[in-house]
Structures are given as structure tokens and as C-alpha cells.
Amino acid sequence: MGITGTSRVAAFNELLREISAPVLADLVGCHPRFAAERASALASDWADYAAIRARPSPTRP
């Protein structure tokens, strides 16, 4: 199919920026620890997601 390992890793990393590691691990069938380690390496571990969502958003003019 022409999909290289590098392409797979790039796609996985991009998905980690979009959704949390446990959710992605479940979707693609990898170990949650692997996904969490990759997310941590990318500095997108989603640990503060709930706190960010709880902050009031600035009002738009």
C-alpha cells in the first residue's frame, strides 16, 4: 500500500495532538502506556485539559 513506518508514526503523532492518548490507544489498538509516552514526548499529554476547559473563555467583541 505504500504506507511507510515514518508515515504511520507521523499520523499517530498528529492524532495525539487532536485527541487524548487513552482514547487514541483504544481506537488504534496500541498499549495505552505507549500512547501516553508518545504524547509526553510531544508535550501534548492532555493532563491539564480539564483545567483549561474550566477556565472562562474571553468574550468576543
Q: What is the DSSP letter of 30?
A: -
Q: How far is CA 61 from CA 1, 24, 58, in A?
A: 49, 36, 9
Query: Is the distance from CB of 21 to CB of 47 less than 8 angstroms?
Result: no
- Between CA 20 and CA 18 the distance in angstroms is 7
pTM of the model: 0.63
Chain segment 2-54, per-residue pLDDT in tens: 888 899 889 998 998 888 889 999 999 999 999 988 888 887 656 666 666 67
